[in-house]
Homo-oligomer: A and B are copies of this chain.
Amino acid sequence: MALPHAILVSLSEQSGSGYELASRFDRSIGHFWSATHQQIYRTLRTMEDDGWVHVTPVTQQGRPDKKVYTVAESGRAELARWIAEPLTGDGSAATDSRTRDLAVKLRGAVYGDVSALHQQIVALRAERAALLDVYRGYEKRQFPEPGALRGAALHQHLVLRGGIRAEESSLDWLDEVLAALEGDQ
């Protein structure tokens, strides 16, 4: 997983407390990932133990005290290492940890190696395109006449259509990302 790395990206942009991180998550990468405050608090503690972040307790008047977290040197190094590392996880669209990880890496790309990231996107694009071909093959074989479908067969086809649409959309996005990165050199 990449929750610690997602936190590193967010803290790199702006130091903050666990509470702030939880609300920021909803606004920034919320479309790919949401994390509850419990997850974030627990993760922050292990990150502190690993030396990836520093903590500064801040006393406030009129509000509860808070702990402001800042990225440590080893956290910066870890983030850069992770961004350059190939995407892991299996290729099935189901859990889709890779797209999620990619979104996090992209958001933190300025803290890592953009060209290494570019390569990962090209690789992911190829895998996604292959999967889309598989789904389209299923469609051709199992539903040669989509207009005539009724009942259970219709429903099955619709589910497959969802898979195809999701892959197409994913591919389109990856192409947009690649084009934008290439135009930004």
Contact = CB atoms under 8 A, between A and B. Distances in A.
A161 interface: yes
A121 to B, nearest CB: 10
Interface stretch (A47-55, A60-68, A101-109): A101-109
Contacts of A110: 151-152, 155
Copies of the chain in the assembly: 2
A140 interface: no
Given A32-B93, A93-B32, A94-B30, A161 B176 contact: yes
Interface in A144-169: 150-152, 154-156, 158-169
A161 B135 contact: no
A153 to B, nearest CB: 10
Given A30-B92, A34-B94, A110-B152, 5 more contacts: A31-B163, A31-B167, A158-B176, A165-B172, A166-B170
13 contacts: A26-B92, A27-B138, A28-B159, A29-B159, A30-B163, A31-B167, A32-B159, A34-B95, A110-B151, A110-B155, A154-B180, A158-B176, A166-B170
A33 interface: yes
A5 to B, nearest CB: 14
B95 A135 contact: no
A164 B184 CA distance: 22
